[in-house]
C-alpha cells in the first residue's frame, strides 16, 4: 500500500506484478486501517503515517524519485524473484488476461488494429493493453532494475 505521494511508484510496482493499493485520497488513519485489515506493507514518504499503531509493516522511502524508490523497495523486500511483469493493470491494479483481438477491436486505434494481434485486458477497468513500442521501453526499464 502506497500513500498519496507515491502514485508513480504504485504504477511501477503494478508493472512488476505486485498487488499495490494506491491510497490517493485516504487520510493516514484510513491507510493504517486498510493496511492492518489486508495485512499490507505501507510504503510512504510520511514518517507520521508509520507511527500509527495499526501499521504493522511499513517502510519510509528515502528518495523522492521513482526509480531509486523502486530499487529501494526491491532490495528491502528482496522482490526480484517475485516479479511477474505485465500481469496487473498499472491504472487500477486489476489482473490482466489475454483476450482475442475481436473482443477489443472497436476500442483500438486504427494502426494498432493493423499491426498488433496480441491483446490483454484488465478484468476490473477493462483497459486494453498490447505490446507496442511502450512495451519495449518498459522491458528495457525492467531489465535495468537492480
What's the pLDDT tens digit per position in 30-60? 999 999 999 999 999 999 999 999 999 999 9
Cell triple for residue 65?
524519485
Q: What is the mean pLDDT of residues 18-25?
A: 93
More confident residue, 138 or 19: 19
pLDDT for 62 = 94
pLDDT for 134 = 87
CA distance 59 to 69: 11
Pairing of strands 57-60, 41-44: parallel
CA distance 137 to 132: 9
Q: Which residues pair with 59 in a beta bridge?
A: 43
Q: Are 120 and 129 in contact (CB under 8 A)?
A: yes
pLDDT for 146 = 60
Tell me the Cα Rg of the chain. Answer: 17
Task: Look up residue 57 and give its DSSP letter.
Answer: E
Residue-wise pLDDT for 77-135, tens only, equals: 999 999 999 999 999 999 999 999 999 999 999 999 999 999 999 999 999 999 988 89
CA distance 125 to 118: 19
pLDDT for 72 = 96
pLDDT for 40 = 97
Instruction: Write down the pTM of the prediction.
Output: 0.92
Amino acid at each position: 500500500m502506497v500513500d498519496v505521494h507515491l502514485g508513480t511508484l504504485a504504477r511501477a510496482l503494478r508493472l512488476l506484478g505486485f498487488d499495490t493499493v494506491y491510497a490517493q485520497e485516504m487520510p493516514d488513519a484510513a491507510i493504517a486501517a486498510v493496511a492492518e485489515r489486508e495485512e499490507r506493507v505501507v510504503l510512504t514518504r510520511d514518517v507520521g503515517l508509520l507511527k500509527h499503531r495499526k501499521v504493522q509493516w511499513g517502510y519510509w522511502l528515502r528518495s523522492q524519485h521513482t526509480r531509486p524508490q523502486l530499487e529501494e523497495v526491491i532490495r528491502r523486500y528482496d522482490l526480484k524473484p517475485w516479479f511477474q511483469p505485465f500481469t496487473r493493470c498499472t491504472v487500477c491494479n486489476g489482473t490482466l488476461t489475454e483476450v482475442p483481438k475481436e473482443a477489443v477491436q472497436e476500442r483500438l486505434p486504427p494502426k494498432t488494429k493493423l499491426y498488433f494481434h496480441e491483446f490483454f485486458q484488465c478484468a476490473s477497468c477493462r483497459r486494453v493493453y498490447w505490446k507496442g513500442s511502450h512495451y519495449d521501453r518498459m522491458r528495457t526499464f525492467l531489465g535495468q532494475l537492480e
